[in-house]
Amino acid sequence: MWSLTWSYSEAVRIDRTRLHDTVLAGVVAVASVVLFVLYDPGHLAAGGLPVEGVRPPDVVGAALVVLACVPVAARRRWPLAALCAGLAPEAVLTAAGYGSGVPGLAGMVLLYSVASHRGLAMALGGLAAALAAYAFGAATGPALAASFTDHVMVVVVLVAVWGAGRSLRLRRAYLEELKDRAARLERAHAADTRAARAEERSRIARELHDVVAHHVSVMIVQAAAARRVLATDQELAGEALSAIEQTGRMAMAEMRNIVGVLRTDARAELGPQPGVQDLPALVEQMREAGLPTRLLVEGEPRPLPAGVDLAAYRLVQEGLTNALRHAGAGAEAVVTVRHKPRELDVRVEDDGKGAPDPPMRSGHGLVGIRERVALYGGILSIGPLPGGGFEVRARFPLEDGQ
User: pLDDT (tens digit, 9 = 90+) per residue, 97-139?
Assistant: 776 444 578 888 889 889 988 888 888 988 888 888 888 777 7
CA–CA separation, 168 vs 118, rounded Å? 11
Question: Could you tell me what percent of the chain has a pLDDT over 70?
Answer: 79
Per-residue pLDDT band at 346 (split at 50, 70, 90): very high
Last residue of a domain, one of 146, 173, 195: 146
Per-residue pLDDT band at 262 (split at 50, 70, 90): low
Last residue of a domain, one of 146, 167, 183: 146
Q: Is residue 191 part of a domain?
A: no
Q: Is residue 267 part of a domain?
A: no
Q: Is residue 194 part of a domain?
A: no
Of the candidates 289, 280, 292, 362, the residue with the CA atom closest to the CA atom of residue 333: 292
Contact 293, 287 (CB under 8 A): yes
Higher local confidence (pLDDT), 323 or 42: 323
Query: In this predicted model, what pLDDT tens digit does every residue of 156-170 receive, in sequence order?
Result: 888 998 999 899 899
Average pLDDT over residues 263-290: 74
Contact 32, 104 (CB under 8 A): yes
pLDDT exceeds cutoff 90 at 395: yes
Higher local confidence (pLDDT), 69 or 138: 69
CA–CA separation, 40 vs 319, rounded Å? 104
Q: Is residue 205 part of a domain?
A: no
Among 60-74, 268-282, 356-370, top mean pLDDT goes to 60-74
Question: Could you tell me what percent of the chain has a pLDDT over 90?
Answer: 9
Per-residue pLDDT band at 241 (split at 50, 70, 90): confident
Average pLDDT over residues 237-260: 73
Q: Is residue 327 part of a domain?
A: yes
pLDDT exceeds cutoff 60 at 4: no
Q: Is residue 270 part of a domain?
A: no
Give whole-number Cα distances, 144 to 3, 44, 52, 293, 401, in Å.
60, 10, 7, 114, 93
Per-residue pLDDT band at 363 (split at 50, 70, 90): low
Per-residue pLDDT band at 233 (split at 50, 70, 90): confident
Q: What is the number of domains present in the chain? A: 2
Query: In this predicted model, what pLDDT tens digit does every residue of 214-229 receive, in sequence order?
Result: 677 777 777 877 777 7
Average pLDDT over residues 272-277: 82
Poorest-confidence range of 37-46, 286-295, 298-307?
A: 37-46
Domain holding 337, by residue range, is 278-402
CA–CA separation, 108 vs 86, rounded Å? 10
Contacts 24+ apart (CB under 8 A), 19-25: 21/72, 21/73, 21/74, 21/75, 21/76, 22/73, 24/72, 24/73, 24/75, 24/109, 25/69, 25/70, 25/71, 25/72, 25/73
Q: Is residue 208 part of a domain?
A: no
Last residue of a domain, one of 124, 146, 168: 146
Whole-prediction pTM: 0.47
Q: Is residue 292 part of a domain?
A: yes
Instruction: Output the domain CATH number for residue 397.
Output: 3.30.565.10
- What value does the mean pLDDT of the chain take? 78
The amino acid that residue 223 corresponds to is: A
Which pLDDT score, from 0 to 100, does residue 40 have? Answer: 61
Q: How many CB atoms lie within 10 A of CB 33?
A: 17
* 79 alpha-carbon distance from chain centroid: 37
